[in-house]
Each structure stands twice: as C-alpha cells, then as structure tokens.
Amino acid sequence: MTRLAELTGNRELVINLTLRELRGKYKRSTLGWGWSLLNPLLSVGIYWLVFGVFLEVVPPIGRPSGLQSFVLFLLCGLIPWNFLSSAMTFAPEILVSNGNLIKKVYFPREILVFSQICALLITSLIEFGVVCVLLLLAGNMVVPWIPMILLVIAIEAVMAVGIALLLSSLNVYFRDVKHFVTIGLQALFYSVPIVYPIRLVPVHAEIAGIDVPVRRIYELNPLVRMVAVFRDVLYNLRFPNIWDLGYFALWAIGLCAFGWFVFHKLEPRLAEEV
Amino acid sequence: MSGFVVEVADVSKRFRLYHERNQSLKASVMRGRRARYDEFWALRDVSIEVLEGTTFGLIGENGSGKSTLLKCMARILRPDKGEIVTRGKISALLELGAGFHPELSGRENVYLNGSILGLSRRQLNTRFDEIVAFAGLEKFIDTPVKNYSSGMYVRLGFSVAINVDPDLLLIDEVLAVGDAEFQRRCSDKFAELRAKGKTIVIVTHSLQTVREMCDQVALLEHGVLRAVGPAKEVVDRYLGDVFGEDDSTRIDSADGLNVERIEMLNASGLAVESVRTGEPVVLRLHYAAEDTVDQPVFGVSVHSLDGIEISRPTTNGAGVMVPPLHGEGSVDFGIDRLLLLPGTYDITATLGSGAISNGPPDRDHALRITVELGDAAEEHGLVSLGGHWEVAGNGRAR
C-alpha cells in the first residue's frame, strides 16, 4: 500500500514524463503529430487494398446499425489493436532506454511504464476520436456509446500496463525479449479478427480424424474477445456480449497483477542490471 | 529537533560479476540457466549514523564501496542485508542532468527534471527564475538542450538539483563542474545549505574538501567500514594508511642502490621533523650501494597530504653529476629558505641511474614533516612565493 501512496504522490511526474514522450516523439519531424494519424491511415489503406479489394473479403453487416464498410470494419479492430501492439513494441525498451535515469535518480520505477502507456493511450484516444468522426459521417450514431467505448479502452489500458510491466522488466534481464515480441506480434495480428471477420474461422474442423472445436480454441485468445467487444460498440452499435467483455476484463486484471508481481520481483536489482 | 537523518544498520550489498555477459533468453534456455556469475561484496555490515544538520564525508580508495553506499542511501540500489532509514526529502547529485531530454528546451527540461527530483509544478514555478539565474542560462532557456555545451548542461542540472531544497543532500564527486565562477557559486550554495541546517552526505576523493566541509567522516576499505568519527581524525588515519611508514627500512632502490633513510636537518644540524617557514634546512638521503653504481641520480619529492606533488628537485635536473658510488654515504639537498607554508608534508626519495629516469616516488616510505608558522607573509596555500608588493600611482590622502 505504501507503494500506491508513493505512486499517487508522483502524479505530476507521470504527467511530465508522459509529456516528454509525447513532445519528444515527433519533434523535428515536418508532419509532427500528423504522423500519429497518418500511420494508421496508411496501414488501413494497405489492408483495404489487399484484403478488401484483392482478396474480396466481405465485411459483415452491422446489427442493428446496418453499416457495411470494409474500411470502417477494419478501423474498429485495428485502432484497439494498435494501442496494444505499440505498448508491446515499446515496452521492452522502457527501462533499458531510461537506464541512465534509473542508475542516477530514485523514483518508483513503474512510473516510467505508466507514463509510456499514458502517452500511447493519448495517441490512441485521438485515433479513436477520428474513427468516431468517420463512423458518424457514415451514419453510425456512436455518441451514446462513448461512455462504453471509454470503459473498454480503460480495460485495455489495464491490460497494456500489465504487459508493459512484464516485458519491460524481463527485457532488462533477457535482452532478446524484444525480438521475440516482434515475431510474436506478427503471429498475434493474424490470430485476431482484424482484417477478416470472425465467421471465416471454422467452428469445427476434422484434423487427423479428430473433431477439433477450432472456433472455441480461437476464442480463448482474449484479444479476439477484445476486438469483438470494440466491434459491437463501434460498428454494430449494441451492448457487447457480456461474456466477451467479462473474459477480456478478467484477462486484463490477471495480466496486470502478474506483470506487477514480476516487475516487483525483478525491481530491486534493476539499477545494477540495466 | 535533532536526530538521525540517515541510519545505516548492518548494510551489506552484493554485486554479481558475470563471466559472460550473455543476457539472452535463448542462451539461458539452451544452457538451462542464466549466465554464470561470481558474487562480490561491495559493502559488508556497514553501520553509520548521520546526524541532522551535519556534513558527512565518505572517503576511501576506488572500489571501497563509498559510492555504492551513497546509492543505497539514495534508494537507487537496494541493500541485500541490513536496513537504511532516511528522514525527510532526499536529493541525490549523482549525475547532473540525468533525465534531460535532448530534443526538449531548457525550460521544459527544468520542469521535467524537477519533477523527477520530486518538485511539484507550483514549487517549480516559484523557483524557476532562481534556477535559471543560478545556471546563468537566461538567454538559452528556450533552446533545446542538445545544443547546449557540456558545461551549460551540467550547470542547469546542478541548478535544478540544488534548488530542490532537500533535507538530505547526497553528493557524489560533482563539485568540480563548470568554470571558476560557477564553482564559487556552488560552494557558496553549499555553505548556505549547511548554514540552514541541512544534512549533506558527500563522497569525494578530495581530502581538502573533506577537511573544509565535513564534520564527520567514514572511511571505507573494500566495503568494510574502517573508521568513523570527526573529519580530522579519520582523514589523518586514512593518510596514515595510504602513505604511512612501515617497518621496512629500504626506501627506494635502483640497481642495487638504496636510500635507507631520509633526514631533515635544521640550521644547527640537528635531525628534526618540524621547522618554520623561512628557515634553512637540509634534506639528507642516506644511501647504500651494494655494487658500484655509475651515474646515480638522486631526487626528493615533496607532497602535500592530499597527494599534490609540490616539487621534485633531482640531481640531474640541477645539472649535478654524481660520481660512481659504492658502499654507504649520504647526499644532501640544502634549502636556504624553506618556502612551504604551515602544514604537514611528506618527503620521499627518488632514485635513478644512468639513462634510466627516476621512477615515481615511493610514498609508502615517506618522511613526514611539519612546518610551523614562520616569517612568510602568506596565510593560505602550500608555498610562500616570497614576493613583494608595490603600489603605483599618486594616491593622495583625503
């Protein structure tokens, strides 16, 4: 509990470090903040061309919204994914790249993780804002769902913090964690229904004569549920499946607790190992 | 209100020395464990107490664990055994400008660094001008710090750290930053903090600093606390350890030529260990040559206690050819007026022969002398320059 008190006492430090991340990120680039919007737009363009046009993936019709647009379907999954995947990409570097600070100044080390996630969250919120505007333009009335959207983003942020605590501290001891993460993220991206609708995943399949419940196994992945939840609120305009939401939230809390535990196990000798 | 600001109780700190720095998951999995390492105790059962309002020095040779202890106090390192209790707000000056972001301006970095050191935005607002003025960077405060010179960078870092207004200030060898003017301001600031009753713990190699600033000093050696007490006592003990005499009689040797003993003779030819500034003295080196030594070169080296070599006269430097020597004898170095100012000095012999130049003085076997107040006009410093003043201009009495 003393740690929590210490953290609230350092609220300003979290804010300042977050600002450092945000300000430092796009300093000296001509487009500046434009990059944080251009990046997802570019990838949406590519996925739309490859999956929507070449592979002719048919987007589902939103129920009850009646919306059918591959680009918007894509965005509703891609933006939440981007938040988690950038958290996972940056996480291994958080402590290592701030090694000098850790070795020379004392402050609760998890603050570095929090502020990195905060910075990513702010970027992400802007992206969500843009998506909402696009949805409104397409006739999807998302405004009443905004509190729900924010709740789901908050759950996602809890998960991001947990993963970042875990990966950042592990990478101090095992410097190749970040390489594993890079590979893992690629596999993870296609194991979540972002560029394709979930109905393309077979419910059952017969493998070597045994009936395998493929969809069930597929849905064990909490990120599958996360994307489903976001699609429900943004694309379909309906209250998310409560099991999806609950399953995702449990994972988020579990990962956060596990990350916190590992971080504090590894924390005492951080200044020596970093 | 007085009491302990820092209480270090039986603190031990262990470091790991890795044989191969193989920090990869892949290698660990293949070998079934992480890289092998040896353990090394940087601190062993150290207990000290720092009283409120005092300045406490940590001294010791490189690798003695003094910086480790300071980092433990700053909570950067966590001791493996024992406990450190600190009271009040701590500011540690271990590295100046740690956490500066090169792309951000000086102004942004003051706020960032300040909050890392524990200042709130409101406190920073009120102290901002003072911080910038102290660093002398008014003109450059909106420039990105990557364009700063290293001096400017360090000055800004120091200025933020010192303005944290801590109850306990931990300093590691950072006093020597900036130009003379900035150094003067720093020492003024330290004096001000001490006058305000702040507690300071300082790690330093400069015994001069320790003597001038510290009330209490702890001497560490290989992670073990060797002595703790009033500054003067501990510093003298440290010097005794480092430069003290031992029972070996040989002082220095070169090719079978040894200096067995150094004596200082006063005007009446008596061997003394204490003289006054301005008196004539003779430094006599008693040598013994086992074989005939051609072209021997004698020298004496005079050191202050904190290791500054004040002078090293040698025979070849003075153009004196010493004839080949055999057996025992002595060499005199006569000084008409000893210009050393009051203090304690170590005198050592150096030897060489032929083309081989004199080796470094062997400080383990020094003659320690004391110089007392004599006829010199100076009060401060190490040597008298023996100069004289003359005032020009037609000054007229009012």
User: Which domain does A220 fall in, by range?
Assistant: 2-273
Contact A10, A111 (CB under 8 A): yes
Does B310 touch chain A if contact means CB atoms closer than 8 Å? no
Does B24 touch chain A if contact means CB atoms closer than 8 Å? yes
Q: Which of B25, B71, B108 sits opposite A176 (nearest CB)?
A: B25
Q: What is the pLDDT of residues B306-339, one digit of tens each?
A: 778 888 888 888 888 888 888 888 889 999 988 8
- What ipTM was reported for this prediction? 0.77
Calculate the average pLDDT of chain A: 90
pTM for the full model?
A: 0.73
Q: Which pair of tokens denotes residue A197? A: 């609708």
Bridge partners for B331 per DSSP = B285
Per-residue pLDDT band for B250 (boundaries 50, 70, 90) equals: very low
Q: Which of B6, B21, B71, B76 to probe the A interface (max A CBs under 10 A)?
A: B76
Per-residue pLDDT band for B178 (boundaries 50, 70, 90) equals: low
pLDDT at B242 over 70: no
Taking residues B182-188, report their average pLDDT.
Answer: 78
Per-residue pLDDT band for B177 (boundaries 50, 70, 90) equals: low
Per-residue pLDDT band for B249 (boundaries 50, 70, 90) equals: very low
Q: Is B381 helix (H, G, I), strand (E, B) or coil?
A: coil
- Identify the residue whose tokens are 């939401």: A245
Does B324 touch chain A if contact means CB atoms closer than 8 Å? no
B residues 116..155 contacting A (CB < 8 A): 116-118, 120-121, 144
Separation of alpha carbons B17 and B35, rounded Å: 10
pLDDT at B248 over 50: no
The continuous run of DSSP H or E covering B90 comes out as strand B90-93
pLDDT at B246 over 50: no
Q: Which of A65-74, A129-138, A201-210 has the lowest mean pLDDT?
A: A201-210
Contact A59, A69 (CB under 8 A): yes
| pLDDT of B88 | 84
Per-residue pLDDT band for A226 (boundaries 50, 70, 90) equals: very high
What residue of B is the nearest CA neighbor of A16?
A: B112
Contact B16, B38 (CB under 8 A): yes
Q: Which of B13, B14, B23 to probe the A interface (max A CBs under 10 A)?
A: B23
CB contact set of B161 (below 8 Å; sequence gap of 6+): B91, B92, B93, B96, B113, B117
CA distance B191 to chain A (A): 24
Q: Which of A17, A28, A268 sits opposite B78 (nearest CB)?
A: A268
Pairing of strands B367-372, B274-276: parallel
| pLDDT of A206 | 86
Q: Which of A210-214, A244-248, B357-361, B373-377 has the lowest mean pLDDT?
A: B357-361
CB contact set of A67 (below 8 Å; sequence gap of 6+): A61, A135, A138, A139, A140, A235, A236
Q: Which of A95-104, B215-224, B231-240 has the lowest mean pLDDT?
A: B231-240
What residue of B is the nearest CA neighbor of A23?
A: B104
Is the bond into A147 cis (omega within 30 degrees of 0)?
Answer: no
CB contact set of B167 (below 8 Å; sequence gap of 6+): B5, B87, B88, B89, B90, B198, B199
Q: What is the pLDDT of residues A23-76, one digit of tens each?
A: 777 766 666 677 777 888 888 999 999 998 999 888 999 888 889 999 999 999
Taking residues B65-81, report their average pLDDT.
Answer: 91
With beta carbons under 8 A apart, name residues in chain B contacting A15: 115
pLDDT at B1 over 60: no
| pLDDT of B12 | 93
pLDDT at B33 over 70: no
Considering chain B, what percentage of its residues have pLDDT values greater than 70? 85
Smallest Cα–Cα separation from A134: which of A73, A84, A91?
Answer: A73
Q: How many domains, in total, are found in chain A? A: 1
Does A16 touch chain B if contact means CB atoms closer than 8 Å? yes
pLDDT at B251 over 50: no
Does B94 touch chain A if contact means CB atoms closer than 8 Å? yes
| pLDDT of B374 | 80
Smallest Cα–Cα separation from A141: which of A130, A132, A154?
Answer: A132
Considering chain A, what percentage of its residues have pLDDT values greater than 90? 65
Taking residues A74-96, report their average pLDDT.
Answer: 94
| pLDDT of B395 | 61
